[in-house]
């Protein structure tokens, strides 16, 4: 049917009509605040791994916190059915209880967190008279039912607010929506450091469960962080999966919530690479050259990283240039300089090999990892 009129109001404001007439307010942010909310990017690999410490990322941007409360088994889960799949999600971040701890000590804790830079959350106008409410939405599937807690933590001002959700049916994808109030106290730093953090509480000892659910913004209090203790670690039969994570500026219900912003894999990956990436055998690494007493290489990042990254490597012994093998002459990574504006690095390494050459890793196992996680 041909168009007979043009709605100039919607053309100017950017409001798009919804076939279900549920939603007609434009977002206040052009890109999703949560990066990799659909859990499709997993640069560190998809192999299932058991972890007993914090700071682990199996799916990009999804961080695990674990302190003396058994072990988590982490994986990227494939989705082929259920409500999440019907709404366009094919991957999830899954946590299984690998080693149980049914009686955690008072200071034990286990959670999943998502950390945000201050310069990505200024739209909330936190700490001003015009502070905005926020809405968190996600799909969750769990082997056990019950009520669990999510905390929104302001790291700049040591403040927090909490909400809860209920898993009604075991092993079933369910969509959850949590509204957080506005906070006129404590402006967020507009920089590249951690300002806001979403904490999905999964299990904890009494130091984190003895308070009350903090539904209004106030000073951060450990006792209030896991009051509705989900006790994921009380049995090795337990598992918890999440996908479709979105954080919106404003207060929404299930009928007014903006649709999840599905990005292309390429765009999603590039946003993840601001925080972590690694070379592989197909990536050109740089220019090998004599640098002072040792050797060095130049490396150009696929995107500029959040901050000067830390480097780690595995099996860095053998590289090849266009003419000859360097054998085992290139060994340990040394100091490095990072040019944030251009996203390039100069990395020193131990070597007796002089000259200037283009080189690539010659073994599949050789990897250099660049991390600038919050």
**pLDDT tens across 142-173, in order?**
999 999 999 999 999 999 999 999 999 999 99
What pLDDT shows up at residue 368?
77
Structure-block tokens of residue 131: 């502070």
- Say what the pLDDT of residue 5 is: 39
Q: Are 230 and 253 contained in the same domain?
A: yes
The tally of CA atoms less than 13 A away on the side-chain side of residue 46 is 8
Is the pLDDT assigned to residue 267 strictly greater than 60?
yes
Would the pTM count as exceeding 0.85?
Answer: yes
Percent of all residues in the chain with a pLDDT value above 90, rounded to a whole number: 65
The string of pLDDT tens digits covering residues 308-347 is 888 777 655 444 443 444 444 444 566 677 787 777 777 6
Q: Are residues 262 and 303 in the same domain?
A: no
Could you tell me if residue 4 is inside a domain?
A: no
Residue 233 lies in a domain: yes
Q: Are 345 and 338 in contact (CB under 8 A)?
A: yes
Phi, psi of 232 (to 5 degrees): -65, -30
Q: Look at the block and give the residue holding tokens 């034990």.
A: 108
Return the SS3 of 233. helix
Domain boundary among the residues 245, 272, 299 is at: 272
What are φ and ψ of residue 368, in 5° steps? -115, 125
Per the domain annotation, does 291 fall within a domain?
A: yes
CA 22 remoteness from chain centre: 29
Does residue 90 carry a pLDDT above 70?
yes
In a domain, 13, yes or no: no
Confidence label for 225 from pLDDT (cuts 50, 70 and 90): very high
Which of 220, 238, 272 marks a domain boundary? 272
Please indicate, yes or no, whether residues 132 and 183 belong to a single structural domain of this protein: yes
Residues 6 or more apart in contact with residue 1 via CB below 8 angstroms:
none
Same domain, 151 and 291: no
The verdict on 337 and 255 lying in the same domain is no
Residue numbers of the domain that contains 246: 23-272
Report d(CA 122, CA 235) in Å as an integer. 41
Residue 111 lies in a domain: yes
What share of the chain in percent tops pLDDT 70? 75
Write the DSSP assignment of 28-78 as a string of letters.
SSSS-SSTTTT----TT----EEE-SSSEESSTT-EEEEESS-EEEEEEEE
Residues 98 and 137 reside in one and the same domain: yes
135 and 210 together in one domain: yes
CA 357 and chain centroid, separation: 37
312 and 203, same domain (yes or no)? no
Please indicate, yes or no, if residue 14 is contained in any of the structural domains.
Answer: no
């Amino acid at each position: 049917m041909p168009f007979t009129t043009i709605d100039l109001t919607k053309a100017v404001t950017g409001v798009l009509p919804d076939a279900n007439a549920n939603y007609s307010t434009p977002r206040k942010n052009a890109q999703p605040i949560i990066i990799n909310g659909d859990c499709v990017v997993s640069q560190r690999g998809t192999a299932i791994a058991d972890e007993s410490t914090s700071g682990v990322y199996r799916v990009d941007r999804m961080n695990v916190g674990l302190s003396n409360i058994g072990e988590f088994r982490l994986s990227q889960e494939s989705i082929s059915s259920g409500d999440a799949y019907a709404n366009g999600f094919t991957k999830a971040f899954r946590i299984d209880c690998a080693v149980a701890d049914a009686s955690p000590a008072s200071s034990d804790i286990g959670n999943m967190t998502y950390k945000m830079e201050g310069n990505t959350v200024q739209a909330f106008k936190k700490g001003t008279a015009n502070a905005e409410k926020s809405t968190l939405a996600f799909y969750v599937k769990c082997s056990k039912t019950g009520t669990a807690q999510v905390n929104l933590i302001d790291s700049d001002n040591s403040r927090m607010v909490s909400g809860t959700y209920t898993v009604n049916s075991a092993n079933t994808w369910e969509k959850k929506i949590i509204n957080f109030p506005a906070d006129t106290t404590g402006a967020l730093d507009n920089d590249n450091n951690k300002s806001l953090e979403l904490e999905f509480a999964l299990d904890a000892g009494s130091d984190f469960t003895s308070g009350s659910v903090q539904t209004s913004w106030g000073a951060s209090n450990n006792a209030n962080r896991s009051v509705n203790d989900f006790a994921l670690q009380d049995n090795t039969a337990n598992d918890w999966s999440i996908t479709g994570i979105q954080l919106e500026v404003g207060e929404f219900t299930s009928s007014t919530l903006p649709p999840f912003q599905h990005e292309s894999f390429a765009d999603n990956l590039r946003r993840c690479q601001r925080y972590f990436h690694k070379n592989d055998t197909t990536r050109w690494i740089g220019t090998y050259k004599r640098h002072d007493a040792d050797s060095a290489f130049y490396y150009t990042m696929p995107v500029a990283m959040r901050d000067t990254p830390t480097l780690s490597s595995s099996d860095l012994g053998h590289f090849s240039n266009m003419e000859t093998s360097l054998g085992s002459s290139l060994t340990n990574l040394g100091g490095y300089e990072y040019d944030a504006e251009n996203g390039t690095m100069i990395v020193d390494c131990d070597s007796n090999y002089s000259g200037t050459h283009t080189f690539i890793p010659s073994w599949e196992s050789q990897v250099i990892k660049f991390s600038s996680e919050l």
